[in-house]
Structure 1
Amino acid sequence: MTTLEDVRRIGAAGLVAQIRERDMPAFGRTVASIGVLTGDDKASASSLAAIILQDAALTTKVLKLANSVYFNPARAHISTVSRALVVLGFDVIASIAVSLMLIDALLSGGLRERVVGEMGRAFHAAVQARTLAVLHGEANPEEVFISALLARVGEMAFWCFGDEAAQSLDTALATGVKPEVAESEVLGFRLRQISVGLAREWRLGSLLVNTLERGESGGDRESSVILAQQFAVAVESGWGSPQARQAIAKMARHTGRPESELTAVLLENAAAAVKTAATYGAVDAARMIPVPEAQAEVQAIEPEEVSGPDPLLQLKILRDLSMLLGGRPSLNDILTLALEGIFRGIGMDRALFALVSADRKKLVGRAALGHGATAFCQAFQFVLDASPGELINAVIVNQQALIIRTAFETPLRLDRLIRAGGMTPCMLAPIVIQGRAIGLFYADRVSGGEISEDDGLGFFHFAQQAALGFEHVMSRVSRP
C-alpha cells in the first residue's frame, strides 16, 4: 500500500522508480527489449515479431489494429505479425505493441473511473493530433498519434497504482480545485513529472519527451500533441462551449484551415477515436469520448481462440511465403514467417530454428517462438559428432525428418535433446540446400498434446517452403 506520506517523502522520482520496479516490472522489461530493438538499425524484424508472438492476446490485438482502417487505409489483408511488419513498418508495429501492453496494464485496477477517463481523453487527443500533423504537413503522423496517446502516462499510472495518495488527490479534485493546484498541495509535485520520468525510463520516444518537457515551444509536432490534448479536455464541456471554440480557433491557426472546415474534420475524428479505443481493447474508455448526436459504435475485440491448428491461417502464411520469393526477401524474412506459420498455424507450443556452424561441427539455436523461447534457443546447442543412433545427428547427418510422439516409439537416443529442454511429442525437419543440411526446424507441444498426421504434413510443408526460400536467397547472393 502506497500512503500519502510515502508519496510526499519519495516525490515524483521515487514514485517513478516504484512503478517501474514494483507495479509494472514485466512491462518495463518488455518495453526495454523493444526499446533496444527500435534504437538498433541492425535489429531484425524477427526479434520484434518474437516478442509480440509470445503473447497470443497481444498478437490478436496487433493484427486487429494492423487491419484497421486507421492504420491500414489501403485495407491490405494482414494475417501475420511478420506481414504487419512489412506493410506498416518496424516502428509503427513497435509503437502499437507498446501502447497495447501499457493500456492492458493500466486497466488492471486502481481508481478505475479516473484511469478510464484519462484513457478516453488520451485516445481522443491521439486521433485529433494525428490529423493536425497531417494537415500541417508533418512527417510521421503515427509518431504524433502515439505521443499524444501516451502523453499522460504518468497520470494514468498514478490513478492505477497511487493507492491512498490517489484517493486523497481524488477527494481534493472533487471539490473543484484546479488539477495543478490540487496536485501540488496534496502530493508536493505535478503528475506531469511522473509522465516525464516514465517516458524517459521506458524510452517511449523523443517526441513524447520533448512534448512533456518543452510543450508547444518544442516545435510544430509537439504543438499538434499539445493542441489536441487541450481540445480533448475542452470539448468535454460541450462541442459548442467557449472552451471548445477557443481550442478549435488555435488548431485552425496551427493548420491554416478555416474553423468551419476543421470543425467538420474534428467531429469525424471523435467518432474515429471511439472506434480506435475499442479496437485497442479500451471499451470503457471509448464510451468516455464525447461524440455529438449518435454515438459511434463501440465494439470490443473478441478474444482469439488459440486451441490448435488453423488450416486457413496455414494456407495464408504459405501464400505469403510464396509471395516473398517473388521479391528480394532476406533470410530473416523467410525464417520469421516460417516460424510463425509453425507456431500459430499448426498450433505448436514452441517452434525453433537451428543453424549448422560454418565448420559444420555444431548445431546452434538461432530463433524460437513460444514457451520459454529465449532460454530454449540458448540451450539448443549440439556437437555434430556423427555418433550413430542419436536424434540430432540423425536429422542433420542422415537428413531425416521425424515425428516423435513418445520416447518409446523410436530407437533413437533423445538424451541430448531432453537435456537442452526439448521434449516429446515433437517434430524435426532438416533444411537441405544443394544436398547439404544447413540447419533444422524443431517444434513441440509442451502441454503434451498429441501431434496428428496433418500437423506433421503442415510442419514439413513449412520446412520445405523455408528451404526453397533459403535457396532462393543464397543463389541470388552468390550470383556475380
Structure 2
Amino acid sequence: MALKYQETLNRVYAQLDRLGDLPVFSATVNHIRQISSSSDTDAMSLAIAVMKDPNLTTKLLRLANSSEFNRGGTKVTAVSRAVVLIGFERIRNLCMTLKLIESFGEKEPGTQVEDLLVAAVLNAATARDMAISAGVLDIEETYICGLLFGLGEIVVAFTLPELYREMLQQRKQGLYSWTCIQQQALGGQFVTLGRDLIQTWGFAKSVVNTLRTEELVGQSSAQEQLNHKIVSGCYELFEQIYHRSEQVTGEEYNQQLSALSEACRLPEERVETLLGESVRLLCEHIEEYGLSHKSLIPPVKASGNEQLDEVTRKLAFYLHSRQDQQKQKKVYEVEKHHEEQKRALDFAQQQLAYLDKMSALINEKAAAPRVLATCVEAIEASSSLERVVFCLAGQKGDQLKAKLLEGVQLEPLLSYFDLERSHPQSRLFFHILDRGVTLLVADARDVGWQQRLPLEFLQQVRPSGLIIAPLMVAGKAIGLLYADKTEDSGLIEDSDFRVFNQFLLQSRLALELSKSSGADKPLNT
C-alpha cells in the first residue's frame, strides 16, 4: 500500500507540474500569508500584496461589500479599507478560499469538483463558528483546517479525473466503504494526501497535524485534536446531508452529530442550526465566490434517518426558494439595465438638441432671459436632476429670488428661495455667490451634510442631493443656478454634474457675448 500511495503522490505532483504553478499556493498567496502573520504589518502593506492579483482584488472587494462583512453599509472601494474592516486573518483566509476555488475550478466533466469546493467552503465557515463555542485559541486557523480538510479529494478529482470517476462509480455501487475504495485506488486516504501536499506547500505544523487520519490523531496536541474533531465532524455531517456518505445502520448522522456536539460543548439542536446558517450564508454570497447555487442544493431522498431527511428537506426548500428569487432578481436587473440604457440615450439626445439651441442663442447674441430659460430647461430635460432653479441676485447683492424653475414639486423651492443676506440661514448661498465656487452634495442625507446644510432648507426643500453654482458675467455674479433631486430619489450622478456644468458654461458664454454686443436686456424685466 505504501508503494501504491507513493505512486499516487508522484502522479499528482506530475499533473500539478504539467498544469502549471497553480495560483492557490502561488507567490501571491504565500506572500499574503507571511505579511498577515507579521506583527509589524499595517493594512496598506497587506493591501499592496493583495492588489498584485487583480482578479483576487475584484472578488475580495465584492465580498467586503456583502452583508456578511460590511454591516455598516458604506461602500468599500479600497483594499486597505477592506483589511481594516474585515481583519488581517480573515482577509488571509478569504484570499485562500478564493484562490482555492479559482485554481481547482472544474475542468473535467463528471468529477463534481465544484461540489467539493462548496463542501470545503461550508466546512471552513461552519468549523470556524463551532470553534468559537469550543474554546479554540485560533479560530481563523480552524477555518483554514476546515477549508483544506477535503483538499486531497479535490486534488485527485482535479489531477486524476478518470481515476476519480471510477472511484465514484464504485462508491455508488455500495459494495465497499469509501475509505476502503480510497485505500485500494490510491494506497491511502484523501486526508493523508491533503496533509502531505500542504506540508510540502509550507503550511504551519499545527494545520498539518490537524489533517490526520483517525488512528494518528492521538499524536497531536490537545488543540490540534480539538481542531480535528471540529473540522472532521463538520465534514462528515455535510457528507451525510449531501448524501455523499451512505447510511449503513441509519444512525451515522446521529452519532456524528452527538460527537460534534460534545466536542463543541453545544446542544445538538444548536449544532444543526449552525450547519443550516452556514449553508444559508454561503447561498447569499455564492456568486461572489465564483460558485453556483446548484452545487449548494442537497438532494432530497430517503436516507433511513428521519432527522437527517428533515434537515436536508428544509435546506433544499430554502435553497430552491432563494435560487428562484435570485433568478427573478437577475431578470429585474437586466430589465433595469435596459431601462437605464434607454434613459441615458434619451438624455443624450435631449442634451444634443439643447446644445444646438444654446449654440443658436450664442450666435444670435440672444438676451439673458432666453438664455437662462433655455439653460434651466436643458438641465432638467437632459439629466436625472428633477428640479432646476435660477435665482436672480438683487442689484446690491443682498437678495436671491427664484425666477426660472423647471421640474417637479417646485412649490417648496419657489417658497424657500426668497433669501435675504442678513438672515443667518441664507449664509451658505450668499457665500457661494460671493466666492464664485460650485457646491456638489451627492447625498444630502449624509450625516455630515445634514449638520452643515441650513436646517430650514433641509426641512422645506428636502433634497436627496444638490448642485449650486454662481452664474458669473464679466466677473460679477448675477445669480445662482440650483439643481437637485427630491428626497425619495437617488444620489447625484457624475453624468448629472457634467450636464449641469456644460449648460452653466454655455450660459456664461452666451451672456458674455450678449453683454458685449449691447443686446442684453435687464434680467428682472
The two structures have a TM-score, normalised by structure 1, of 0.54
Deviation at 1:158, TM superposition (A): 1.2
Tell me which amino acid in the other structure corresponds to 2:239: V
Classify the secondary structure of the residue corresponding to 1:280.
Answer: coil
Equivalent runs, 1:220-369 vs 2, <5 Å: 220-237=226-243, 242-283=251-292, 284-288=294-298, 290=312, 291-295=315-319, 297-298=322-323
Q: How far apart in 2 are the matches of 1:100 and 1:268? A: 20
Classify the secondary structure of the residue corresponding to 2:115.
Answer: helix
Classify the secondary structure of the residue corresponding to 1:293.
Answer: helix
Matched, 1:18 2:14: yes
RMSD of aligned alpha carbons: 3.6
Deviation at 1:274, TM superposition (A): 3.0
Q: How far apart in 1 are the matches of 2:256 and 2:22? A: 38
Q: How far apart in 2 are the matches of 1:10 and 1:164? A: 18
CA deviation vs aligned residue, 1:205-236 (integer Å, no higher than 9, x gap): 44431210354863323322121112111223
Map of 1:123 onto structure 2: 121
Q: How far apart in 2 are the matches of 1:62 and 1:204? A: 22
CA contact (8 A) 1:147 1:208 kept: yes
Deviation at 1:59, TM superposition (A): 1.4
Tell me which amino acid in the other structure corresponds to 1:183: Q
CA pair 192-15 structure 1, distance change in 2 beyond 3 A: farther
CA pair 77-59 structure 1, distance change in 2 beyond 3 A: same
1:169 to 167, 170, 180: 167
Matched, 1:54 2:58: no
Deviation at 1:196, TM superposition (A): 0.9
CA pair 67-206 structure 1, distance change in 2 beyond 3 A: farther
Q: How far apart in 2 are the matches of 1:207 and 1:260? A: 30
Greater mean deviation of Cα atoms: 256-265 or 232-241: 232-241
Q: How far apart in 2 are the matches of 1:9 and 1:222? A: 23
Q: How far apart in 2 are the matches of 1:115 and 1:97? A: 19
The structure with the largest alpha-carbon Rg is 2
Deviation at 1:204, TM superposition (A): 4.2
Map of 1:65 onto structure 2: 63
CA contact (8 A) 2:12 2:156 kept: no
CA contact (8 A) 2:106 2:114 kept: no
CA deviation vs aligned residue, 1:432-457 (integer Å, no higher than 9, x gap): xxxxxxxxxxxxxxxxxxxxxx9xxx
Q: How far apart in 2 are the matches of 1:151 and 1:261? A: 23
Tell me which amino acid in the other structure corresponds to 2:133: L
Deviation at 1:121, TM superposition (A): 2.1
Classify the secondary structure of the residue corresponding to 1:107.
Answer: coil
Deviation at 1:258, TM superposition (A): 2.6
Map of 1:154 onto structure 2: 152
Matched, 1:193 2:199: no
Q: How far apart in 2 are the matches of 1:19 and 1:128? A: 31
CA deviation vs aligned residue, 1:367-391 (integer Å, no higher than 9, x gap): xxxxxxxxxxxxxxxxxxxxxxxxx
Q: How far apart in 2 are the matches of 1:239 and 1:167? A: 18
Classify the secondary structure of the residue corresponding to 2:317.
Answer: coil
CA contact (8 A) 1:136 1:255 kept: yes
Q: How far apart in 1 are the matches of 2:204 and 2:296? A: 25
CA pair 202-9 structure 1, distance change in 2 beyond 3 A: closer
Tell me which amino acid in the other structure corresponds to 1:178: S
Matched, 1:86 2:84: yes
Tell me which amino acid in the other structure corresponds to 1:252: S
CA contact (8 A) 2:183 2:189 kept: yes
CA pair 262-186 structure 1, distance change in 2 beyond 3 A: closer
Deviation at 1:172, TM superposition (A): 2.9
Classify the secondary structure of the residue corresponding to 1:219.
Answer: helix
Greater relative contact order: 1 or 2 (C-alpha under 8 angstroms, separation 6 or more)?
Answer: 1
Tell me which amino acid in the other structure corresponds to 2:151: V
CA contact (8 A) 1:239 1:292 kept: no
Percentage identity across paired residues of the two chains: 22
Q: How far apart in 2 are the matches of 1:142 and 1:121? A: 18
Give ranges in structure 1 of 5+ residues lacking alignment: 1-6, 303-453, 455-480
Between the two proteins, the alignment pairs up a number of residues equal to 299
CA deviation vs aligned residue, 1:304-359 (integer Å, no higher than 9, x gap): xxxxxxxxxxxxxxxxxxxxxxxxxxxxxxxxxxxxxxxxxxxxxxxxxxxxxxxx
CA contact (8 A) 2:61 2:76 kept: yes
CA pair 262-34 structure 1, distance change in 2 beyond 3 A: closer
CA pair 255-169 structure 1, distance change in 2 beyond 3 A: closer
Deviation at 1:88, TM superposition (A): 2.1
Q: How far apart in 2 are the matches of 1:44 and 1:129? A: 28
Deviation at 1:133, TM superposition (A): 1.0
CA deviation vs aligned residue, 1:265-288 (integer Å, no higher than 9, x gap): 433333223335443111143335
Q: How far apart in 2 are the matches of 1:24 and 1:178? A: 34
Deviation at 1:80, TM superposition (A): 1.2
Greater mean deviation of Cα atoms: 67-76 or 21-30: 67-76
Map of 2:334 onto structure 1: none
Q: How far apart in 2 are the matches of 1:253 and 1:208? A: 22
Q: How far apart in 2 are the matches of 1:293 and 1:239? A: 21
Q: How far apart in 2 are the matches of 1:239 and 1:178? A: 9
Map of 1:178 onto structure 2: 177
Q: How far apart in 1 are the matches of 2:226 and 2:188? A: 28
Classify the secondary structure of the residue corresponding to 1:25.
Answer: coil
Deviation at 1:24, TM superposition (A): 4.4
Q: How far apart in 1 are the matches of 2:11 and 2:93? A: 24
CA pair 31-114 structure 1, distance change in 2 beyond 3 A: same
Give ranges in structure 2 of 5+ residues lacking alignment: 300-311, 331-497, 499-525
Equivalent runs, 1:393-472 vs 2, <5 Å: none
Q: How far apart in 1 are the matches of 2:168 and 2:134? A: 37
Q: How far apart in 2 are the matches of 1:195 and 1:142? A: 19
CA pair 252-157 structure 1, distance change in 2 beyond 3 A: same
Q: How far apart in 1 are the matches of 2:119 and 2:259? A: 19
Q: How far apart in 2 are the matches of 1:61 and 1:113? A: 25
CA contact (8 A) 2:12 2:160 kept: no
CA pair 103-79 structure 1, distance change in 2 beyond 3 A: same
